[in-house]
Structure 1
Amino acid sequence: MKNVMIAKLGKAAAIYIDPKGKDYKGLKLVANSFVEDINMVTGVTPKVVNVIEELKETIVIAGSIGNNDLIDSLILKGILDVSSIKDKRECYKIQVVEKPIEGIEKAVVIVGSEKRGTIYGIYRVSELIGVSPWVYFGDVVPVKKSELVFSEEDLNITSKEPSVKYRGFFLNDEWPSLGSWVTNTFGDFNEEFYDKVFQLILRLKGNFMWPAMWSAVFSENGKSYPLANAELADTYGIVMGTSHHEPMFRAGEEWKQIHHKYGENEAWDFSSNADAITKFWEDGLKRNKKLESLITIGMRGEQDSALKGSEEENIELLKNIIRTQKRLLIEQGLNNVPKVLTIYKEVEKYWYGTDKAEGLRTWNELDDVTIMLADDNFASVRTLPTEKERNRKAGWGMYYHFDYHGGPRSYEWVNTTPLEKVWEQMSMAYDYGVRDIWIVNIGDLKPMEFPVSYFLDLAYDFETWGINGRNKTKEYTKKWALQQFGNAVKEDLIDGIESVLTDYTKMSGSRKPEVTYASTYSCINYNEAKRVLEKVIDIEGKAQKYYEQIPEVYKDAYYQLVYYPSVASANVIKMQICAGLNNLYYRRKSILANNYALLVEECKEKDIDMQKYYNESMSAGKWKGMMSSPHIGYKEWSPDGWTYPEIYSVIPEKRSIMIVDIQGTEEAYNEGIAELPVFTNLGKESYFITISNGGSTEFDYKVETSSDFIKVNSMHGSISTGKDIIVSIDWDKVSKSLDGFITISGSGKIVKVKIIVEVIDITDLPNRTFIETHDVVSIEAEHTANNIAKSNVEWKVLENYGRTLSSMKMFPTTVSFEKPEQAPYLEYLLRVNNDEEYTLTTYVAPTNNLYENSRLKYAVAFDDESPIIADTLPKDFITGSYDNDIWCDGVLENIHITTTKHRLSKGMHRLKFYGLDAGVVLQKLVLSKGKLKDSFLGPEESLYYKE
């Protein structure tokens, strides 16, 4: 295979672009950034040439079909076959051509079906030489190389057509973080800033964006002249829009600033100020009409609020508004320009209509408008097209969120949306025909680098990462880590970085740091707080280990892309758990409370220090102000009034006082009789007892066991603050159910702890039989005994999705069932200990109903009983309503929980779980006697027999 030299021995191939091409200005900008990429890698800066006579030796030729005479001549001669990309959207072909013109030995030809295709091709070569899309916004330093030599096989590439037509992101909620950094660095949201953003979008194979809008006016904030931002976007080939509530090229801030030009009435109210607002819109169209754009139509109230009238009045008002807007578009020659109406929040009501007013959904004047649907602001889609609606000519879009400023609580800090969630929800949206626009609210841009990459890759190549992407998020995460650090570190370190990214996003996805409190994880039940604390400490430890191992030149990139989002969010959760333990031991008058108070203070200092390092020291102070968002202890929907957790101190008495805390109990003891949970022979579990001091004088403790089958890790010692005693069973000495005691003495007190051992006979148990212990049977959804498909619909595992292990979902995602007997089902085997009424608690992902009046139903049945139909959404569930506690709890706790009652006899049972409505995602099932103990995650999975 022949090799191609792009740079070698202090020389680099020039890049030729045709100055006569309509795309010349945009390609010149990208060519200039491409030669900077080569310089970063090799130290050599190639020339950007637009005169053929200046070319010599090996060259790079870049241009689109019909806009580069040299490329067109190669096509005409049959040397370059472009049939695979011609007339397609945003495609490119890279081909090595021998002797393309006289005097040139070899050329790397990058030809695009149009401008954006060519640009993607140029940046594909940048990736091949080791330059990450996050070279600027993530400070990812490419590995230095003395030469860039590739085989022709490596360079001969033909791209696919992007899966989704418009793919991009929305810079939003940009104060205090992004706004502070931008003004510190560029002075304003001007073309110098957006030049960096546009390059990032193109490197990520996006083509669309909504600009920052809290304080900025995109089309007026140019530094060199007012329209510089908008014209630069057009030159680059970025299709610009304005947010879901900013119609007709007009930013929300513009009306505030210039409404006086249109009259004395300053109200943003079409019903009372139509003439002024119409003129305002008309001027916006005149200003931007020559630029490639996707025009927002419709209207919301002041400051992104709801319109003021009744639903019927607002429907008619919106129709009047849209008619006016479409008339203006026709007058300005923009009738055929793509238009979008976003069905967001209360606009969904106007879309569906009421009994008294026909909604926008059936209004034929929207036939040429793309309808952009939305999630619920917490990454679960709100509504999807029905089968009849999916093929509408103007198509569908989705407005998604990685960041949100609003109720029930804002989240505007680090990434809290696991890739598994993005895949599950956006793949379902794609299945339902949402394929024209994907845009995601990414807040301050940083530190959302990781999910932004995934979202745009999913939109660009849905075949790989969507259709064939189930359970590929781990693979994608490793690929992303390789893109940032792979040329500099060994594979085992990449595997480690992948595990940190995966673990922290699962942790923060289960409960966002902003709404994790001292009371979130139970310090008493199921050993929950300490289990979560162990995971948090593991994340911190791994992230620190890899930070120390990564070469110095890559530490800044690692810190902002991996270390900060993982460790800073882990530190918040650690802080809150320590505060919970502080509160617990304070109530029990143990001086362990003071130890945990010190740990909380350490976490506070770490939070402050990490934020300061990010803002002032990282990357030589480049990101001043970027990490400024409040992110702890939210008291209301906004960050206002946020606070670090409250901690308490115990003043020790001037003597020693023994306090014994038994795992899983609601009270502490300093004398008397207590009891540990039952030990069983299947799980081989152990339990801990905490001995602590309530006084200032150290005391000696002693532990005695009544039988030799009881094992204790520490039989005696001294206590100044506290110590954990681990109790377990020597199963070689146990052949039948029995009981015993351990006796703990110290400080003149004695506590006797009863030990109960249950030996469970598993001789006749089928494989994967779950066994009741501690009054519960807890089952992770993927651990089925049988998985039965029906009507070509089957349950499949979604690995690592959800709050605990994984999830199960029905595929294809578009099919629902009226009756349980028609539906696919999951089977679970279990054994219960009593003849009794049990409660089955079902944990499913916080998905919303997919249509206006649809539900998320399932059915359950034990053995031969008739299935009981249940709905994960109660009748009074209202998606997206801050006044609806059920929805609010679902998004904050990232779960829907429902219960059913079942009368069971002692012994073996077969549980069937039927999926009725598309969209149900099962995560966990818990069968219990009575009400479950309070906890966030529920009981750990029960013991189950497996061969």
Structure 2
Amino acid sequence: MRITPLLLILTLLTTPAAAQLATGHPTKNSFPLAAGNTAAPILHDPADHPVVARAAADLASDIRAVTGITTTATTTAPIPGTRPVIIGTLGRNRTIDALVRAGKLDVHRLRGAWESFLITVVRRPAPGLPAALVIVGSDRRGTAFGVYELSQSIGVSPWHWWADVPAKHHAALHIAAGTHRFGPPSVKYRGVFLNDEDWGLHPWAARTFEPENGGIGPKTYERLFDLMLRLKANTVWPAMHHVSAPFNRNPANAKLADDYAIVMGSSHAEPMLRDNVGEWTDAPDRFNYATNRDGVRAYWDERVRTNARYESLWTLGMRGIHDSGIVGADTPAGKIDLLDRVFADQRAMLAANIDPQVDRIPQMFVPYKEVLDLYRAGLKVPDDVTLVWPDDNFGYIRQFPNAAERRRSGGSGIYYHLSYLGAPLSYLWLGTTPPALIRTEMTRAFDQGARSVWIANVGDLKPAEIGVTAFLDLAWNVEASRTQTQATFLADWTARTFGGKTSQQIADVLNRWYTLNLERRPEHLQWWLPGQRARRSPLTPTQIDTRLAAFDALVADLDRIEPAIPPAQADAFFELVAYPVRAAALANRRYFAAERYATTIDAQPAIARRWGADANRSDTAIKALTRRFDTIAGGKWRGFMAEEPADNQWTSYRTVPLALPAAGLVDDSPPPTLSPASDPAIIEAESVEPPQGWRFVAGLGRGTGAMIAAGGTASLSYDLTLTTPQSLAIDILPTFPGGGGDSAFHLTVTIDGHPHAIVIPRTTGDPAWSAGVLDNLLSVPIPGTLPPGRHRVTIASADEGLALDRLRLAAPQ
């Protein structure tokens, strides 16, 4: 799965410069897509792929949504004198192939390219036709991507259905003259994994959208596949929990995916496109390759035979049912031997049913959780199989390919989480992973050679719309996206989604919201783990008041913005902005008010009861806000949204429901503001200019950003003046070193010329990691005490990926 060199990639219409492709007025030699109450007819070839016909029909619908002008998608020849849109795939559209033969369409950079396309105006393409707008793809997805690129450029959001973003109205549409080239993508296979669907996607599909199928089925997947193409994604891992019917149980699903040109895969725990929790009908202990090889092999072989005709991304390997550990061997050596046999048998099935040259079949292996330890212990993966490296489930990639792995013909990929059900605590509710973190980790991965497969675990898909967009924008075109900061990405996204004078204000609210939630997600407002004794948060009164004031400021800004939102955008604004921002603010106020009630009820009962009332009011408001999700868009999303925790399932991975005081124990008077207490002094890492070898990433960390080490000998220096003795700690984000995975960061902290060698172990699953991913911070104390006076502190690390957030000074304990 080697990636061919990038073709010329013009700036996409997802950036401000892209406005030159579609405008509302004619320009020199532009093409009138819709003007004078007439829209161009859309021509495609009946011999082309099914996805092309679907995309052509969607384009006609999109033009009508933007302009109100009706046009048609047809396979008949255009009427002389008209200016048609001609859509087709090289070698599958007779009109386009004739233009190529006549020298009117230069496609030499499309031939053999992966998922690439041209949008170009051709003069006099045939007798009687003054001009045509031609969208030509190198392959079936390239053609579809070209069509949806045009749709996005005229004002139709990829989230037009999933987030109810209305089309932007224009009375006329004109397409700039010239040839606009796009692709190939930066990452070959790009897409999403629907997961942990028990509390959102499944109940909504079962009760509201697709009750005839009892849950997620062809209707839901059809909408998902439309979204994927509009986001220029090509791969889906389907939902696979107990509540959902297995994707391949209904043959209509696989056929639908093929019609949409979507590559179907399966998760790290579901090899060979098998949904074990729904499809393995033998006894659970029989899912054991050591004792029941024939039974398991027949189970896999059946899927290979039924899906051999479809384009698939085959997951190799084996774990236990429902993402549990591998069975059949007790030692690492025994498990490696077992997986060696599994690989050989799985590849033999693929060779026998799909292609004898098995290295031409897309395959991947995901060394997830303990399987990564087996890989590090010597497990050999066939060279043509893509190694898909996992993050730590919280957005920090555990391992990046080293030099030898970058030379593998199968290349590398990334399995990344935007939602997670698991230890130490899940996050399933509000989609708070910041775009800055996504961009930082995924560009690190790309630069270190992970370019074959990128899959994001998106949970229920809603409300992770912004994170999904950020992830897939990068996967399509890393170079165009890597230069954006979180603030500029959000400004661009809100401009495309909402437009108008409020878009920048919305972007500013979201930017601050991500920063606050990076400090602690709403799903992590509990400072003890399941099974531990409850304990209060470590935040000081000043920190709590500051945090709540920051959330109050966000809500106040929303209150000013919301009246200016046009009625047509009200549902989208609620889903994408108002609900997540208000819910997070209320969750924080509810938690800290309840905590203050519990800690002051004995000593200050009158004040405590006022905090109790504040907690109860916040809880009532969250529930009312969540119920509102059932009524927006005419009840379209009834049953989709549930606050976390939604029920008492998987309690070992989720926060406990917050205990609130009874109504008779509270006082509805406003709660008091506590007096400030002494807090540590903070020196933000970005307070100095980064030298070569370090880069500043805005939006990452607790200040305005963080400093990321590129690896080498460069250092950061800070001058301090102290009036009292102080202890020093440095705070870093819980990233992992590049190229090595779970190992350690090594840094040198030099104070006034005296170096301190610091080692920061990075091991997933240990207490430091648990605290780090919940706080999105690792605090590293520096030995000794700084006396009053002037000091120079210098920090250096040769490890790529060290993310320095800040230095903290405090009175010695």
Q: Is residue 219–residue 228 contact of structure 1 (8 Å, CA) maintained in 2?
A: no
Pick from 491, 496, 507 the counterpart of residue 478 of structure 1.
491
Q: Which amino acid aligns with 1:180?
A: P
Q: Deviations over 1:155-201 (max 9, x none)?
A: x4211321111110101101121001112212332222211111100
Q: Which stretch of structure 1 is more off in the superposition, 179-188 or 457-466?
A: 179-188
Answer yes or no: is 1:805 the counterpart of 2:704.
yes
Distance 1:549 1:721, change over 3 A: closer
Q: Is residue 728–residue 785 contact of structure 2 (8 Å, CA) maintained in 1?
A: no
Distance 1:273 1:861, change over 3 A: same
Tell me the distance in 1 between the aligned counterparts of 2:81 and 2:368: 56
Tell me the distance in 1 between the aligned counterparts of 2:475 and 2:588: 32
Q: CA deviation at 1:312?
A: 1.8
Three-state SS of the structure 1 residue aligned to 2:55 is: helix
Distance 1:863 1:636, change over 3 A: farther
Distance 1:321 1:150, change over 3 A: closer
Q: CA deviation at 1:142?
A: 0.9
Pick from 915, 924, 927 the counterpart of residue 809 of structure 2.
927
Tell me the distance in 2 between the aligned counterparts of 1:47 and 1:480: 30
Three-state SS of the structure 2 residue aligned to 1:270 is: coil
Tell me the distance in 1 between the aligned counterparts of 2:673 and 2:424: 39
Percent sequence identity over aligned pairs: 30
Tell me the distance in 1 between the aligned counterparts of 2:553 and 2:649: 29
Q: Deviations over 1:641-685 (max 9, x none)?
A: 731243489989xxxxxxxxxxxxxxxxxxxxxxxxxxxxxxxxx
* Residue aligning to 2:244: 216
Tell me the distance in 2 between the aligned counterparts of 1:495 and 1:112: 35
Pick from 771, 786, 802 the counterpart of residue 889 of structure 1.
771
Tell me the distance in 1 between the aligned counterparts of 2:609 and 2:705: 37
Q: CA deviation at 1:85?
A: 2.6
Tell me the distance in 1 between the aligned counterparts of 2:321 and 2:151: 44
Q: Deviations over 1:500-550 (max 9, x none)?
A: 21122222222111121497655645x111100100101112223222210
Task: Kindly tell me the number of residue pairs found equivalent between the two proteins.
Answer: 768
Q: CA deviation at 1:217?
A: 4.6
Q: Deviations over 1:216-265 (max 9, x none)?
A: 355434xxxx3211122112211110111111122223433x44xxxx78
Q: Is residue 730–residue 807 contact of structure 2 (8 Å, CA) maintained in 1?
A: yes
Q: Which amino acid aligns with 2:686?
A: E
Three-state SS of the structure 1 residue aligned to 2:687 is: coil
TM-score, structure 2 length as denominator?
0.90
Q: Which amino acid aligns with 1:398?
A: I
Answer yes or no: is 1:333 the counterpart of 2:354.
yes
Q: Is residue 96–residue 108 contact of structure 1 (8 Å, CA) maintained in 2?
A: yes
Q: CA deviation at 1:900?
A: 1.7
Answer yes or no: is 1:625 the counterpart of 2:627.
no
Three-state SS of the structure 2 residue aligned to 1:911 is: strand
Q: Is residue 6–residue 148 contact of structure 1 (8 Å, CA) maintained in 2?
A: yes
Answer yes or no: is 1:402 the counterpart of 2:418.
yes
Q: Is residue 630–residue 639 contact of structure 1 (8 Å, CA) maintained in 2?
A: no
Tell me the distance in 1 between the aligned counterparts of 2:753 and 2:654: 55
Distance 1:71 1:723, change over 3 A: closer
* Residue aligning to 2:729: 841
Answer yes or no: is 1:581 the counterpart of 2:581.
no
Q: Which amino acid aligns with 1:477?
A: L
Distance 1:914 1:68, change over 3 A: same
Q: More helix per residue: 1 or 2?
A: 2
Tell me the distance in 2 between the aligned counterparts of 1:453 and 1:145: 25
Tell me the distance in 1 between the aligned counterparts of 2:474 and 2:374: 31
Three-state SS of the structure 2 residue aligned to 1:58 is: coil
Answer yes or no: is 1:371 the counterpart of 2:405.
no
* Residue aligning to 2:748: 859
Taking only aligned residues, the RMSD between alpha carbons, in angstroms, comes to 2.6
Pick from 896, 901, 904 the counterpart of residue 783 of structure 2.
901
Answer yes or no: is 1:143 the counterpart of 2:143.
no
Q: Deviations over 1:776-828 (max 9, x none)?
A: 543111113x6554xxxx222211211333211123xxx35xxxxxx211111
Three-state SS of the structure 2 residue aligned to 1:779 is: strand
Q: Is residue 246–residue 278 contact of structure 2 (8 Å, CA) maintained in 1?
A: no
Query: Which ranges in structure 1 are unaligned for 5 or more consecutive residues?
Result: 354-358, 653-693, 697-719, 728-772, 817-822, 932-947
Q: Is residue 287–residue 296 contact of structure 2 (8 Å, CA) maintained in 1?
A: yes
Q: CA deviation at 1:100?
A: 1.1
Q: Is residue 89–residue 137 contact of structure 2 (8 Å, CA) maintained in 1?
A: yes
Tell me the distance in 2 between the aligned counterparts of 1:776 and 1:36: 58
* Residue aligning to 1:287: 306
Q: CA deviation at 1:370?
A: 0.6
* Residue aligning to 2:40: 13
* Residue aligning to 1:711: none
Pick from 317, 332, 338 the counterpart of residue 317 of structure 1.
338
Q: CA deviation at 1:294?
A: 0.6
* Residue aligning to 2:581: 566
Tell me the distance in 1 between the aligned counterparts of 2:649 and 2:600: 24
Q: Is residue 389–residue 400 contact of structure 2 (8 Å, CA) maintained in 1?
A: yes
Q: Which amino acid aligns with 1:311?
A: P
Three-state SS of the structure 1 residue aligned to 2:601 is: helix
Q: CA deviation at 1:832?
A: 2.2
* Residue aligning to 2:516: 507
Q: CA deviation at 1:140?
A: 0.6
Pick from 178, 191, 194 the counterpart of residue 201 of structure 2.
178
Answer yes or no: is 1:304 the counterpart of 2:338.
no
Q: Deviations over 1:708-761 (max 9, x none)?
A: xxxxxxxxxxxx98866989xxxxxxxxxxxxxxxxxxxxxxxxxxxxxxxxxx
Tell me the distance in 2 between the aligned counterparts of 1:832 and 1:12: 71
Answer yes or no: is 1:390 the counterpart of 2:406.
yes
Q: Which amino acid aligns with 1:843?
A: D
* Residue aligning to 1:451: 467
Three-state SS of the structure 1 residue aligned to 2:273 is: coil
* Residue aligning to 1:251: 275
* Residue aligning to 1:918: 800
* Residue aligning to 2:23: none
Answer yes or no: is 1:70 the counterpart of 2:95.
yes
Q: Is residue 523–residue 581 contact of structure 1 (8 Å, CA) maintained in 2?
A: no
Q: CA deviation at 1:338?
A: 0.8
Tell me the distance in 2 between the aligned counterparts of 1:250 and 1:632: 28
Q: CA deviation at 1:892?
A: 1.1
* Residue aligning to 1:529: 544
Distance 1:787 1:241, change over 3 A: closer
Q: Which stretch of structure 1 is more off in the superposition, 913-922 or 433-442?
A: 913-922
Q: Is residue 890–residue 896 contact of structure 1 (8 Å, CA) maintained in 2?
A: yes
Q: Is residue 174–residue 444 contact of structure 1 (8 Å, CA) maintained in 2?
A: yes
Q: CA deviation at 1:589?
A: 1.5
Pick from 669, 678, 685 the counterpart of residue 781 of structure 1.
685
Q: CA deviation at 1:860?
A: 0.8
Tell me the distance in 1 between the aligned counterparts of 2:698 and 2:691: 19
* Residue aligning to 1:832: 722
Three-state SS of the structure 1 residue aligned to 2:134 is: strand
Larger RCO (CA within 8 A; separation ≥ 6): 2
Pick from 100, 119, 141 the counterpart of residue 144 of structure 2.
119
Distance 1:516 1:53, change over 3 A: closer
Query: Which ranges in structure 2 are unaligned for 5 or more consecutive residues?
Result: 1-27, 528-534
